[in-house]
Amino acid sequence: MRRRRCWSSCCWVVWMTEVLRGLLVGASLLVTMQAGAADGGDDSRQRVEMPAQAVELLRAEMRAHTLALAEVSGLLAEGRFEEAAAAADAGIGFGSMGQQRGNPDAPGRHMPAAMHRLGIGMHDAANQWSEAIRSGDGKRIFAGYQAVMNACVSCHMAYRVR
Ligand code: HEC
């Protein structure tokens, strides 16, 4: 009983603060990316050449990952751990991988090896986050969330496709 009350009051506040912080960092990152591209300013990301169709697929997958993050956060806020874990697996984890198998425009085929490894690292981090969520241990859940966020950010800081 006491653990539940803690989760729904103090832990919830910490969680929402983390989520908001993550969203702010993500938003400012995208704004910085746009600004860098627009004024040709300090953008040290490596540009990866991909066919236009692969770029569109990559961007659509990215938007789906963002949506999944929001879905998992919402389910966690409601204490629906099992559904949150499933959503993390399906939307960001290995469940979201290989959907373009056999497609020559699959974004993964056009990534340099190091970038591809970052992508696999993101799927892996999401699956570990999912396990942490299933454990119901708040500390592990926050750590898992941070690892997923780090996976997004480390690739975004290193590569661009436009
Ligand atoms: C393996 C590298 C990689 C990982 C990991 C990655 N991204 Fe991306 N993401 C990119 C690239 C490259 C772009 C395109 C940047 C550009 O416009 O040149 C992008 C763009 C985006 C966009 C903009 C989509 C659009 O419509 O233009 C969003 C949103 C996004 N990523 C969210 C995420 C989230 C959330 C995660 C983590 C759960 C994540 N990404 C993980 C490489 C990655």
Residue 102 alpha carbon to ligand 1 centre in Å: 22
- Residue 36, burial from CB neighbour count under 10 angstroms (0-12, 13-18, 19+): middle
Residue among 152, 157, 160 to mutate when testing ligand 1 (max atoms within 8 A of CB): 152
- The pLDDT value given to residue 97: 87
Q: CA-to-CA distance for 106 and 156, rounded, in angstroms?
A: 19
Q: Atom 37 in ligand 1: which residue has the minimum CA distance?
A: 152
Distance 131 CA to ligand 1 centre (A): 24
Residue that has been written with the tokens 């490894």 in this structure? 117
Amino acid at 162: R
**Site of tokens 């789906």:** 64
Note the pLDDT tens digit of each residue in 87-100.
999 999 998 888 88
pLDDT for the residue 100: 86
Distance between alpha carbon 102 and the CA centroid of its chain, in Å?
Answer: 24
Q: Where are the beta strands (DSSP E) in the chain?
A: 46-47, 159-160
More confident residue, 31 or 105: 105
pLDDT for 1 equals 45
Q: Using one digit for the tens of pLDDT, what is the confidence trace for 4-45? A: 545 555 565 666 667 667 666 666 666 555 555 555 567 999
Residue type, 81: F
pLDDT band, residue 58 (cuts 50/70/90): very high
Q: Ligand 1 pocket, 62 CB below 6 A?
A: yes
Q: Say if residues 89 and 144 touch (Cβ distance below 8 Å).
A: no
Tally of structural domains, the chain = 1
The domain of 75 spans 2-160
Position 42 scores a pLDDT of 79
Ligand 1 atom with the smallest distance to the CA of 47 is 18
Q: What is the pTM of this model?
A: 0.81
Whole-number average pLDDT of the chain:
87
Distances (CA, A) of 124 to 30, 31, 60, 105, 113: 23, 27, 20, 23, 16
Q: What is the CATH number of the domain that holds 137?
A: 1.20.120
The CB of 45 under 6 Å from ligand 1? The reply is no
